[in-house]
């Protein structure tokens, strides 16, 4: 054996070994690549937040290390990397749906098994099983007259059903094996259910999220069809004759711009209406049913509202009837008496038995209590409702000053949040654009606009409360008891209905994002308690699975056949998963961060011919 043969043998053996390995397809839309991107994105969303407490525990005290030990760490890995984990279930749903849809489209091809001479191959050969399956699917499609979109929807339904069954089985198994202390099993982009300790479904938050995104896609398709550009009128056809192609093209472009403008206007109105309704429900639940909201929501709203907990408990007692201006409150009398004492006012101001229930006979009572600004109205003095926010200015009884100060306080809190939220994404993706003055100012003005929205949200709430119980409505109807004006359907409901209208201050694009963000929480807050507490079994479990399957299948189908109907997070994620990093704005950002947007209107024939002549010259 020569030395050359001995040197070539390892290379030949390596080539022989690698020839048995499957080649990875280089097509971004191939099911294998779709599955790989889905698994990577899903795993990063589920595993990273689950491992973060372990990293924090390693940097903190030893007591935390006991809770987040090796056993808990292995349980988290088993939960997220297993076949019933979130990442694998999402990969099966998305990648499997793409594979089934692709196989179905191939089966539908009539000449799939024809030879080079145009004759069909022998069905009794090795293609017999394939031929039978193909003929069965073709006959089914012919009977049902299914469109490509319907075929994609049916394919995604099967894989979505398997996905939701896997996720629910995995979360039930984790709950059964929770002998070692471990973090609460969460699903990405969702909040833990407030009924989690009462056998609720672990996937209800994810189901509501998918439902909202699917509903938004359907609404966008409806809006697009509603505002679709119409054909030119007969007079316009006569005016712009057939030989004048340039004028016809300009007319079509103008109509397309007009339809796009109408679409944006209608979408913005729908987003504002949705946010208004959702914010009203969420704010009402904050006061009377906080267990229906995520803890982070309750904490965030409480910090912005700047309300003493005793005042909130009094509002709930008024709703339950245990605190009344007419009947008094022997049980909860100390709530507001201690509150008034802490603010520096007489304790009797917080006693419901000493306060006037009606405004028609309130003058002598207020005179005896040394209150000079509530003649004609009853109820709690304004000084206690304002909570001492303007006492430093000596205007503790002024409703106008209280509204302005609370709005300013909310603005200062919000600007500290929105400035990082607006600048950090730009610093991470395209920091050089901030060196340009107009980009920097536009980003700064966006943060100020968002902070102004949140400030107006808080100020409008307090303005509606004071307008209802003090300034106008209570004075207009002094015969109505303040058990109503200070109750759940009086000033509180007025404030809840008023605060959501501040969404018009926010940027139009962010209105849709905020509406889609609060809608799942508002829907959950409207579900009956019996459904939420028994979500893990019974009829609700079947309904949830059906909603999950239909919503997820609709989203995946819209991403393939109607990608323009998706917005925000769903559009970003599904464009990356189904089409790869070279899809849409991904490709534009990779080419140049400052590259202009892709024009939505194609160039006119005049422009095309001009550019072609310039190239030739």
- The pLDDT-based confidence of 80 (bands split at 50, 70, 90) is confident
Q: Is residue 199 part of a domain?
A: no
- My answer on whether 283 and 389 are in the same domain is no
- My answer on whether 264 and 404 are in the same domain is no
Class of residue 344 by CB neighbours under 10 A (exposed 0-12, middle 13-18, buried 19+): exposed
Domain membership of residue 215 as a residue range: 209-293+515-588
- Interval 531-574: pLDDT, tens: 776 555 678 888 999 999 999 999 999 999 999 899 888 888 89
Q: Is residue 122 part of a domain?
A: no
- My answer on whether 415 and 470 are in the same domain is yes
- Interval 185-195: pLDDT, tens: 467 767 666 65
Q: Is residue 467 part of a domain?
A: yes
**DSSP code at position 327:** T
Residue 243's pLDDT is 52
- Interval 239-282: pLDDT, tens: 444 456 777 777 778 877 888 888 888 899 999 999 999 999 99
Q: Is residue 40 part of a domain?
A: yes
- Asked if residue 422 has pLDDT above 80, the reply is yes
Residue 316's pLDDT is 94
- Interval 270-323: pLDDT, tens: 999 999 999 999 999 999 999 899 888 899 899 888 889 999 999 999 999 999
Q: Under a CB-based contact definition with an 8 Å cutoff, are residues 270 and 219 in contact? A: yes
- Interval 40-56: pLDDT, tens: 999 988 888 888 877 77
Quick check: helix, strand or coil at residue 255?
A: helix
- Asked if residue 437 has pLDDT above 70, the reply is yes
Other Cβ atoms within 10 Å of 240 Cβ, number: 18
The domain boundary residue, chosen from 141, 156, 188: 188
- Asked if residue 391 has pLDDT above 50, the reply is yes
Better-scored residue on pLDDT, 395 or 112: 395
- My answer on whether 79 and 180 are in the same domain is yes
- Interval 486-526: pLDDT, tens: 999 999 999 999 999 999 999 888 899 899 999 999 999 99
Residue 23's pLDDT is 61
Average pLDDT over residues 107-113: 56
- My answer on whether 82 and 157 are in the same domain is yes
Indicate the range of 137-146, 538-547, 584-593 predicted with least confidence. 584-593
- The pLDDT-based confidence of 178 (bands split at 50, 70, 90) is low
- Interval 1-34: pLDDT, tens: 454 554 454 454 555 544 544 566 677 888 889 9
Q: How far apart are CA 592 and CA 586, in angstroms?
A: 10
- My answer on whether 476 and 495 are in the same domain is yes
Highest mean predicted confidence (pLDDT) among 77-86, 421-430, 470-479: 470-479
Residue 232's pLDDT is 46
- My answer on whether 79 and 226 are in the same domain is no
CA distances from 71 to 68, 177, 190 (A): 8, 12, 25
Q: Is residue 248 part of a domain?
A: yes
| Mean pLDDT rounded to a whole number for the chain | 80
Residue 201's pLDDT is 76
Q: Under a CB-based contact definition with an 8 Å cutoff, are residues 28 and 582 in contact? A: yes
Degrees to nearest 5, angle at CA 173 with 169 and 175? 120
Residue 583's pLDDT is 60
- My answer on whether 289 and 301 are in the same domain is no
- Asked if residue 473 has pLDDT above 90, the reply is yes
Other Cβ atoms within 10 Å of 536 Cβ, number: 20
- My answer on whether 133 and 233 are in the same domain is no
- Terminal Cα-to-Cα distance of the chain (whole angstroms): 67
Q: Is residue 201 part of a domain?
A: no
The domain boundary residue, chosen from 506, 528, 559: 506
Indicate the range of 356-360, 551-555, 612-616 predicted with least confidence. 612-616
CA distances from 4 to 12, 13, 14, 15, 360 (A): 12, 15, 16, 17, 112
- My answer on whether 139 and 216 are in the same domain is no
**DSSP code at position 328:** B
Q: How far apart are CA 137 and CA 82, in angstroms?
A: 33
Q: Is residue 202 part of a domain?
A: no
Residue 348's pLDDT is 93
- The pLDDT-based confidence of 181 (bands split at 50, 70, 90) is very low
Q: Under a CB-based contact definition with an 8 Å cutoff, are residues 482 and 520 in contact? A: no
- My answer on whether 175 and 62 are in the same domain is yes
Residue 289's pLDDT is 92
Per the structure, how many domains does the chain have?
Answer: 3
The domain boundary residue, chosen from 506, 529, 557: 506
pTM of the prediction? 0.82
- My answer on whether 101 and 174 are in the same domain is yes
Q: Is residue 605 part of a domain?
A: no
């Amino acid at each position: 054996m020569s030395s050359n043969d001995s040197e070539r043998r390892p290379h030949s053996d390596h080539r022989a070994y690698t020839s048995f390995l499957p080649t990875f397809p280089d097509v971004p839309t191939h099911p294998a690549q779709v599955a790989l991107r889905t698994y990577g994105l899903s795993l990063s969303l589920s595993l990273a937040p689950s491992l973060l407490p372990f990293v924090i525990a390693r940097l903190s005290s030893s007591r935390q290390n006991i809770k987040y030990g090796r056993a808990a760490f292995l349980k988290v890995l088993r939960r997220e990397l297993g076949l019933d984990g979130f990442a694998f279930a999402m990969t099966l749903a998305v990648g499997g749906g793409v594979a089934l849809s692709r196989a179905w489209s191939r089966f539908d091809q009539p000449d799939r098994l024809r030879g080079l001479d145009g004759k069909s191959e022998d069905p009794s050969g090795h293609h017999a099983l394939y031929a039978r399956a193909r003929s069965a699917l073709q006959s089914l499609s012919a009977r049902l007259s299914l469109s490509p979109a319907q075929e994609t929807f049916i394919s995604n339904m099967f894989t979505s059903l398997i996905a939701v069954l896997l996720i629910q089985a995995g979360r039930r198994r984790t709950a059964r094996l929770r002998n070692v202390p471990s973090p609460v099993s969460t699903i990405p982009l969702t909040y833990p259910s407030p009924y989690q300790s009462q056998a609720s479904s672990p996937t209800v938050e994810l189901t509501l999220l998918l439902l909202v995104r699917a509903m938004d896609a359907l609404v966008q398709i409806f809006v697009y069809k509603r505002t679709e550009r119409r054909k030119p009128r007969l007079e316009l056809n006569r005016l712009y004759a057939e030989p004048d192609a340039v004028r016809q093209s300009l007319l079509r472009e103008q109509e397309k711009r007009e339809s796009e403008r109408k679409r944006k206007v209608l979408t913005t109105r729908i987003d504002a209406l949705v946010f208004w309704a959702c914010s009203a429900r969420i704010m009402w639940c904050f006061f009377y049913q906080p267990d229906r909201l995520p803890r982070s929501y309750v904490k965030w709203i409480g910090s912005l509202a700047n309300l003493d907990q005793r005042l909130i408990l009094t509002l709930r007692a008024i709703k339950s009837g245990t605190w009344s201006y007419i009947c008094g409150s022997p049980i909860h009398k100390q709530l507001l008496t201690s509150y008034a004492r802490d603010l520096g006012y007489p304790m009797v101001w917080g006693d419901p038995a000493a306060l006037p229930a009606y405004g028609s006979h309130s003058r002598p009572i207020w005179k005896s209590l040394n209150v000079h600004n509530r003649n004609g109205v009853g109820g709690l003095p304004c000084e206690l409702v304002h909570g001492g926010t303007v006492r430093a200015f000596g205007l503790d009884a002024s409703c106008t000053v209280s509204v302005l100060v609370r709005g300013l306080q909310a603005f200062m809190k919000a600007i500290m949040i929105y400035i990082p939220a607006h600048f950090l994404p730009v610093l991470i993706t395209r920091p050089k654009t901030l060196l340009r003055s107009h980009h920097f100012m536009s980003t700064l003005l966006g943060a100020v606009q968002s902070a102004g929205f949140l400030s107006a949200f808080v100020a409008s709430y307090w303005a509606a409360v004071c307008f209802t119980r003090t300034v106008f409505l209570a004075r207009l109807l002094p015969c109505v008891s303040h058990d109503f004006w200070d109750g759940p359907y009086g000033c509180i409901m007025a404030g809840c209905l008023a605060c959501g209208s501040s969404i018009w201050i926010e940027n139009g694009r962010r209105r849709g994002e905020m509406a889609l963000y609060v809608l799942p929480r508002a829907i959950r807050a409207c579900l009956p308690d019996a459904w939420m507490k028994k979500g893990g079994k019974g009829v609700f479990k079947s309904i949830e699975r059906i909603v999950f399957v239909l919503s997820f299948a609709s989203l995946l189908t819209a991403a393939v056949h109607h990608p323009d109907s998706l917005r925000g997070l769903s559009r970003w994620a599904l464009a990356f998963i189904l089409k790869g990093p070279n899809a849409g704005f991904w490709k534009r950002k990779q080419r140049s961060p400052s590259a202009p947007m892709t024009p939505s209107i194609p160039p006119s024939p005049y422009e095309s011919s001009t550019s072609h002549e310039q190239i030739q010259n």
